[in-house]
């Protein structure tokens, strides 16, 4: 039993050596040697059982009363073991009281507070209203696909709650527009812009500054290099010193190459582009216009200059001018909002900005201090007192008790501008309020000028909007610890003014969205390996629909890795649904016999509905739901259409439409929309008056030309008369009108001949496969039915490209074969009679076969035999050549 205990956290004074890290089989093993433990000091070694995510620790904080018992009570050991076992887990979660009158769906959600699926019961006695707070973006840069994963998955769950389960959801999201990253980024940009404005061309002085920035960057990020190295020597040196990492190896101490190595590679690249432009200045190798060169110099050296100049001048800026910061945050908030709308993510019902809650946050902190769960340090900062909080019986780190002493995570949570203070009472105590240093924006508080810590904003704003308790809180999985655990602690500390533990479950359901990784690496800003949402939509890597489909095909709480396989699964799901909807757009789809003899399809539809209901009740299992939809379509596709009851077909079409609408795959279409299908399956409206006549003419021509009796010119004329099109052509329809008239002209110019059928069909194929296809429209020919006029899909484009590539390959092979044949033929140009008439011999017989060599010696019989063989071969080749010549 003992070795199942991961680890134990004891009062700092009793730790002899802390968290000794070794790594046998890839998992971190951590141990603590603590004073006063019975027997062996290193008794509390860690197990190799990995808790979720971080393969780390479980914790146990002995109560002061137990510590006094510590020394050597014989029964103490088993007591501690037991406590360590039980407290490694999350503290108990209380299921909200059920409401007798409320009709609730049997919905269960995966709750991070229990790491299990728990029945969903809203606080609202009517079981209708659901309150939800979601952590929003920190607006200092463009959102990337990792963010898209988080917000789109959240949006999917929100839509299912609202449109499928019919809850009345109040969704509140914040915008973090004050934070260490924002301050740094805005200030760095401000100082850098001033520097560039003052030095529009690259002087030796600028070069000196850049060199110092280069040295500082190397010292901080690439410590194996001599920071004073000349930029011109950088490339050779870095390739030597970092050869292992550059060749895919690991940094010392790492078992497997991962994010650390990726970061080093990123630094190597950043320094390389700066070194290159600096070397150019040094060797005066720049030939371009000085201002053009300056632009390239600054853009290549920017990542080095930004932190360096900020260190030099950052603290001297006028930080009361909040415009320096809001210029950045306004811009990125607007861009974020647009990105989300492009991804069809619903706007929040309420949006809260930290800058608008400065006073409320200060008041929130004040009450935590009053409740004796926070303390003020000499510089005017305020910290949360974890020890006091726990001593009052509140569990700290409800979500991830095993992460609570992860110093790296704790430090990241505190931000890059945190004051080093020795006044913190506990190592993991975190800032509620930060005293502002010069160069940092500030708000007035009773402790002096300062600004909110990161975690407090969400506690304060969510409490301000939603009160003492909420149903759902959500965010990305990397926010679970410390951000969300600290939010929970702060809010409990705030609401527990009477110390009666009445309000300790601030959040009932905590939902965390899994990561997005690409080729095994987490997408992150610090690794610079991200693609922004904007870029990927602009480049058409993704459409809002295709991206959402990929997220629907992966569980919301699990990590999603974008692989070629996942992309192709997503594409085929989309194409399948697309094709189904296209068929449903066609009135012929519902023209079965009115009663229908096949009753299985109706049952299939009901079964699919029940399956999807079960999946969605099972913690929003969209993976299963997507599969169920796909299976129903397969059943439709393989059914004998003539036996189907049109009512069943229509029910399937309407139901699938409503589910894709609920999932947010169809723009703003409502769940109960009467329109069947989704956007993108119809051709442009302005094209229809020309496309439909064109298709009708073509149908008629094809049908007649393929008939046994063939087609006459008269029939061609009759076919042409079928398509009436408007004479008044709007600008946007001109390409379609032009295509129609060109097609007509080509058909009219056909003359009567034996091959007229073939010519008609060639024209019909060409307009379908080339002219219309290039305009994004496809005519799908069908037996005994008019062609289906539809947009070209990605699948079709791919198929056409593959076909063209195959044809090209075939063509190349044919050419090669022809050339080889020609080469062979050319060999036969020389007559067999002449082939041996060279200096090598001096006499020949009638057929030109040598009898004596150059010296007059008679040629041996065996040699003659060999020569004759060659002669026979050449004779054949020559005759072939002669034949090819006469054929010309």
Q: Per CB under 5 A, which of residues 675..704 are in contact with Zn ion?
A: none
Residue 278 binds Zn ion, judged by CB under 5 A: no
135 or 301: whose CB is closer to Zn ion? 135
484 or 878: whose CB is closer to Zn ion? 484
Rounded to the nearest 10°, the torsion over CA 594, 596, 600, 605 is -10
* Distance of closest approach, residue 173 Cβ to Zn ion, in angstroms: 10
Tokens of 253: 């101490």
524 or 569: whose CB is closer to Zn ion? 524
Closest residue by Cα to residue 383 from 493, 484, 463: 493
Please spell the DSSP secondary structure of 305-335, one letter per residue: HHHHHHHHHGGGS-TT-THHHHHHHHHHHHH
* Distance of closest approach, residue 511 Cβ to Zn ion, in angstroms: 13
Residue 304 binds Zn ion, judged by CB under 5 A: no
**How far apart, in whole angstroms, are the C-alpha atoms of residue 371 and residue 432?**
14
Among 222, 458, 516, 523, binds Zn ion (CB under 5 A): 458
* Distance of closest approach, residue 479 Cβ to Zn ion, in angstroms: 6
**How far apart, in whole angstroms, are the C-alpha atoms of residue 620 and residue 618?**
6
Tokens of 125: 């006695």
Tokens of 48: 């190799």
- CA 863 to chain centroid, in Å, comes to 76
Closest residue by Cα to residue 412 from 454, 445, 362, 370: 454
CA atoms lying within 13 Å on the CB side of residue 111: 23
* Distance of closest approach, residue 135 Cβ to Zn ion, in angstroms: 3
**Residue 262 contacts by C-beta under 8 Å, 6 or more apart in sequence?**
521, 527, 529
Residue 480 binds Zn ion, judged by CB under 5 A: no
Residue 462 binds Zn ion, judged by CB under 5 A: no
Q: Total residues contacting Zn ion (rule CB under 5 A)?
A: 2
138 or 270: whose CB is closer to Zn ion? 138
* Distance of closest approach, residue 136 Cβ to Zn ion, in angstroms: 8
Residue 432 binds Zn ion, judged by CB under 5 A: no
Residue 550 binds Zn ion, judged by CB under 5 A: no
Tokens 């739901």 belong to: 625
**How far apart, in whole angstroms, are the C-alpha atoms of residue 548 and residue 339?**
14
Beta bridge partners of 45: 31
Residue 511 binds Zn ion, judged by CB under 5 A: no
Residue 139 binds Zn ion, judged by CB under 5 A: no
Sheet holding 516-518, edge to edge: 521-522, 516-518, 560-562
480 or 681: whose CB is closer to Zn ion? 480
Asked if 183 contacts 138 with a C-beta cutoff of 8 angstroms, the reply is no
**How far apart, in whole angstroms, are the C-alpha atoms of residue 486 and residue 484?**
5
Stretch that binds Zn ion, among 204-212, 457-465, 534-542, 566-574 (CB under 5 A): 457-465
* Distance of closest approach, residue 458 Cβ to Zn ion, in angstroms: 3
* Distance of closest approach, residue 457 Cβ to Zn ion, in angstroms: 7
202 or 458: whose CB is closer to Zn ion? 458
* Distance of closest approach, residue 365 Cβ to Zn ion, in angstroms: 16
**How far apart, in whole angstroms, are the C-alpha atoms of residue 440 and residue 454?**
15
135 or 281: whose CB is closer to Zn ion? 135
304 or 365: whose CB is closer to Zn ion? 365
163 or 180: whose CB is closer to Zn ion? 180
* Distance of closest approach, residue 248 Cβ to Zn ion, in angstroms: 37
Strands (E) located in 341-390: 350-353, 374-376, 382-384
Residue 135 binds Zn ion, judged by CB under 5 A: yes
135 or 271: whose CB is closer to Zn ion? 135
Residue 660 binds Zn ion, judged by CB under 5 A: no
**Residue 17 contacts by C-beta under 8 Å, 6 or more apart in sequence?**
32, 33
Residue 489 binds Zn ion, judged by CB under 5 A: no
**How far apart, in whole angstroms, are the C-alpha atoms of residue 265 and residue 301?**
17
Closest residue by Cα to residue 266 from 38, 502, 513, 524: 524
173 or 739: whose CB is closer to Zn ion? 173
Residue 470 binds Zn ion, judged by CB under 5 A: no
Asked whether the bond before 482 is cis by omega within 30 degrees of 0, the reply is yes
- Angle of helix 564-585 relative to helix 544-552, nearest 10 degrees? 110
Element (H, E) at 551: helix 544-552
Residue 361 binds Zn ion, judged by CB under 5 A: no
Residue 173 binds Zn ion, judged by CB under 5 A: no
Stretch that binds Zn ion, among 45-53, 313-321, 455-463, 869-877 (CB under 5 A): 455-463
**How far apart, in whole angstroms, are the C-alpha atoms of residue 248 and residue 261?**
8
Asked if 402 contacts 54 with a C-beta cutoff of 8 angstroms, the reply is yes
* Distance of closest approach, residue 342 Cβ to Zn ion, in angstroms: 24
Residue 264 binds Zn ion, judged by CB under 5 A: no
Residue 388 binds Zn ion, judged by CB under 5 A: no
* Distance of closest approach, residue 215 Cβ to Zn ion, in angstroms: 38
Stretch that binds Zn ion, among 269-277, 451-459, 512-520, 682-690 (CB under 5 A): 451-459
Stretch that binds Zn ion, among 54-62, 128-136, 798-806, 859-867 (CB under 5 A): 128-136
**How far apart, in whole angstroms, are the C-alpha atoms of residue 694 and residue 741?**
9
313 or 557: whose CB is closer to Zn ion? 557
Closest residue by Cα to residue 579 from 801, 793, 770: 793
* Distance of closest approach, residue 352 Cβ to Zn ion, in angstroms: 11
Residue 466 binds Zn ion, judged by CB under 5 A: no
Beta bridge partners of 129: 168
Stretch that binds Zn ion, among 456-464, 774-782, 803-811, 815-823 (CB under 5 A): 456-464
Residue 145 binds Zn ion, judged by CB under 5 A: no
Q: Per CB under 5 A, which of residues 708..727 are in contact with Zn ion?
A: none
* Distance of closest approach, residue 487 Cβ to Zn ion, in angstroms: 6
Element (H, E) at 106: none
351 or 607: whose CB is closer to Zn ion? 351
135 or 760: whose CB is closer to Zn ion? 135
* Distance of closest approach, residue 771 Cβ to Zn ion, in angstroms: 55
Q: How many CB atoms lie within 10 A of CB 189?
A: 17
Dihedral (CA of 316, 321, 322, 327) sign: negative
* Distance of closest approach, residue 494 Cβ to Zn ion, in angstroms: 15
Positions that interact with Zn ion (CB under 5 A): 135, 458
């Amino acid at each position: 039993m003992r070795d199942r205990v991961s680890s134990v956290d004891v009062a700092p004074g009793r730790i002899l050596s802390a968290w000794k890290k070794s790594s046998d089989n890839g998992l971190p093993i951590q141990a603590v040697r603590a004073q006063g433990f019975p027997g062996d000091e290193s008794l509390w070694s860690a197990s190799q059982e990995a808790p979720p995510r971080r393969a780390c620790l479980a914790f146990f904080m002995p109560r002061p009363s137990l510590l006094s018992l510590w020394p050597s009570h014989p029964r103490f050991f088993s007591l501690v073991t037991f406590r360590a076992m039980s407290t490694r887990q999350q503290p108990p979660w209380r299921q909200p009281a059920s409401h007798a009158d409320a009709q609730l769906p049997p919905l269960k959600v995966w709750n991070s507070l229990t790491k299990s699926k728990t029945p969903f019961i809203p606080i609202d006695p009517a079981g209708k209203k659901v309150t939800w707070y979601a952590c929003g973006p920190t607006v200092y840069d463009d959102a990337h696909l990792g963010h898209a994963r988080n917000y789109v998955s959240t949006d999917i769950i929100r839509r299912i709650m609202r449109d499928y389960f019919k809850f009345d959801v109040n969704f509140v999201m914040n915008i973090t527009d004050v934070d260490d990253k924002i301050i740094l980024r805005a200030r760095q940009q401000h100082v850098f812009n001033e520097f560039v404005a003052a030095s529009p061309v690259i002087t030796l002085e600028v070069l000196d500054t850049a060199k110092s920035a280069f040295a500082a960057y190397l010292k901080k990020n690439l410590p194996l290099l001599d920071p004073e190295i000349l930029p011109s020597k950088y490339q050779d040196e870095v390739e030597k010193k970092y050869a292992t990492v550059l060749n895919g190896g690991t940094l010392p101490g790492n078992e497997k190459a991962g994010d650390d190595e990726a970061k080093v590679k990123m630094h190597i690249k950043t320094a390389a582009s700066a070194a290159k432009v600096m070397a150019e200045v040094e060797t005066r190798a720049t030939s371009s216009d000085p201002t053009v060169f300056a632009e390239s110099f600054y853009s290549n050296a920017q990542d080095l200059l930004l932190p360096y100049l900020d260190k030099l001048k950052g603290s001297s800026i006028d930080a009361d001018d909040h415009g320096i910061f809001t210029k950045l945050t306004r811009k990125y908030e607007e861009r974020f909002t647009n990105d989300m709308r492009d991804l069809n993510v619903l706007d929040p019902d309420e949006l809260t900005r930290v800058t608008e809650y400065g006073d409320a946050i200060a008041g929130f902190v004040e009450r935590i201090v009053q409740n004796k769960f926070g303390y003020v340090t000499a510089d005017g900062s305020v910290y949360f007192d974890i020890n006091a909080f726990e001593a009052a019986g509140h569990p700290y780190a409800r979500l991830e008790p095993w992460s609570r002493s992860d110093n790296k995570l704790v430090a990241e949570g505190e931000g890059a501008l945190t004051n080093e203070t020795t006044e913190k009472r506990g190592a993991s105590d975190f800032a509620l309020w930060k005293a502002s240093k010069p160069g940092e924006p500030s708000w007035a508080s009773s402790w002096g000028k300062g600004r909110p810590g990161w975690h407090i904003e969400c506690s304060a704003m969510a409490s301000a909007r939603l009160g003492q308790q909420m149903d759902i809180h959500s965010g990305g999985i990397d926010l679970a610890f410390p951000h969300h655990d600290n939010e929970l602690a702060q809010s409990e500390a705030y609401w527990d003014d009477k110390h009666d533990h009445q309000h300790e479950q601030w959040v009932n359901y905590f939902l965390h969205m899994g990561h997005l990784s690409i080729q095994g690496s987490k997408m992150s800003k610090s690794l610079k390996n991200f693609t922004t949402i904007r870029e990927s939509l602009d480049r058409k890597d993704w459409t809002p629909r295709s991206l959402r489909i990929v997220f629907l095909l992966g569980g919301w709480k699990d990590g999603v890795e974008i692989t070629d396989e996942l992309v192709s699964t997503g594409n085929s799901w989309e194409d399948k649904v697309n094709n189904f909807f296209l068929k449903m757009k066609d009135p012929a789809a519902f023209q079965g016999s009115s009663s229908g003899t096949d009753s299985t399809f109706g049952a299939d539809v009901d079964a699919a509905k029940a399956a999807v209901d079960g999946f969605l009740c099972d913690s929003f299992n969209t993976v299963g739901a997507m599969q169920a939809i796909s299976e129903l379509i397969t059943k439709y596709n393989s059914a004998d259409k003539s036996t189907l009851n049109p009512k069943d077909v229509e029910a399937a079409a309407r139901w699938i439409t409503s589910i894709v609408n609920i999932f947010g795959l169809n723009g703003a279409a409502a769940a109960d929309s009467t329109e069947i299908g989704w956007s993108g399956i119809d051709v442009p409206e302005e094209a229809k008056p020309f496309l439909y006549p064109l298709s009708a003419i073509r149908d008629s021509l094809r049908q007649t030309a393929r008939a046994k009796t063939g087609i006459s010119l008269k029939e061609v004329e009759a076919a042409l008369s079928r398509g009436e099109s408007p004479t008044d052509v709007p600008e946007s329809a001109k390409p379609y009108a032009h295509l129609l008239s060109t097609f007509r002209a080509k058909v009219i110019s056909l003359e009567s001949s034996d091959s007229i059928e073939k010519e008609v069909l060639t024209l019909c194929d060409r307009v379908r496969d080339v002219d219309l296809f290039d305009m994004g429209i496809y005519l799908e020919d069908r037996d005994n039915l008019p062609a289906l006029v539809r947009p070209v899909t990605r699948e079709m484009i791919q198929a056409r490209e593959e076909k063209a590539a195959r044809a090209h390959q075939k063509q190349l092979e044919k050419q090669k074969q022809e050339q080889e044949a020609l080469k062979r033929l050319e060999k036969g140009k020389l007559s067999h009679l002449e082939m041996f008439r060279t200096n090598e011999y001096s006499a020949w017989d009638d057929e030109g076969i040598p009898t004596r060599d150059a010296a007059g010696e008679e040629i041996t019989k065996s040699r003659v035999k060999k020569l004759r063989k060659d002669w026979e071969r050449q004779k054949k080749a020559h005759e072939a050549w002669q034949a090819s010549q006469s054929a010309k």
